[in-house]
Chain A
Amino acid sequence: QQQVKQSPQSLIVQKGGISIINCAYENTAFDYFPWYQQFPGKGPALLIAIRPDVSEKKEGRFTISFNKSAKQFSLHIMDSQPGDSATYFCAAEAGANNLFFGTGTRLTVIP
């Protein structure tokens, strides 16, 4: 049973465009929602995270939008660059000892 559902599975965006990845969850006990970026041969790296007391968080070109009532959250990458090409994972956690990951989105940014 997938605790966090992520879409799309893959995404191709032109350089300078906006990349949008969506996630949905059911467990209302989740209280921490991070996004990770993973390059081939590397472990995931924390990109940005949000807690459910805010609806949006922005760090540079990366923004998380959070909709508590719909139990959905999304990652927006503005001005996408070829260096952003990687696999992105959303995740959710209730307490600090069990992080549930989505299935990943492979982003390709075309120059």
Chain B
Amino acid sequence: ETGVTQSPTHLIKTRGQQVTLRCSSQSGHNTVSWYQQALGQGPQFIFQYYREEENGRGNFPPRFSGLQFPNYSSELNVNALELDDSALYLCASMRGQSTDTQYFGPGTRLTVL
């Protein structure tokens, strides 16, 4: 098991609602990345936070936003939920910009009805 934890494990929302997902990074890691993994697909990069600042963003609309806190934990917020937002949301933490130290959490399964 990695030291990256995510909450909640599962979540059901309806279209148009807003959701907040949480991630605690592994000890010693100051960078957090979020990924969306649709069923049967590979993870897609949403954005990354490094030292509390956004440090890169994938091809996701502005209704996907995030935060990183001083303890390096992070939140992913999604507004105006759409059916296609149903997916497994993965958080990964790493030390600095060393991707070979990146560990993934178990994910939050979001279902939008």
Contact = CB atoms under 8 A, between A and B. Distances in A.
A100 B43 CA distance: 8
Contacts of B45: 98-100
A96 B99 contact: yes
A41 interface: yes
A107 B52 CA distance: 38
Select the residue from B42, B90, B96, B107 with max chain A CB neighbours within 10 A: B42
Contact of A97 (B2, B4, B97): B97
Contacts of A104: 40-42
A93 B107 CA distance: 21
Interface residues of B, number: 29
B17 interface: no
Sort chain A's interface into a size bin: 20 to 34
Contacts of B98: 96
B44 A101 contact: yes
Nearest to A101: B42
B104 A44 contact: yes
Interface in A16-57: 32, 34, 41-46, 49
A6 B58 CA distance: 20
Contacts of B92: 43
A101 B56 CA distance: 16
B90 A43 contact: yes
Interface in B87-111: 90, 92, 94, 96-100, 102-107
6 contacts: A32-B99, A46-B103, A97-B56, A99-B33, A100-B45, A104-B40
Nearest 7 pairs between A and B by C-beta?
A43-B104, A97-B56, A101-B42, A96-B97, A97-B48, A89-B42, A101-B43
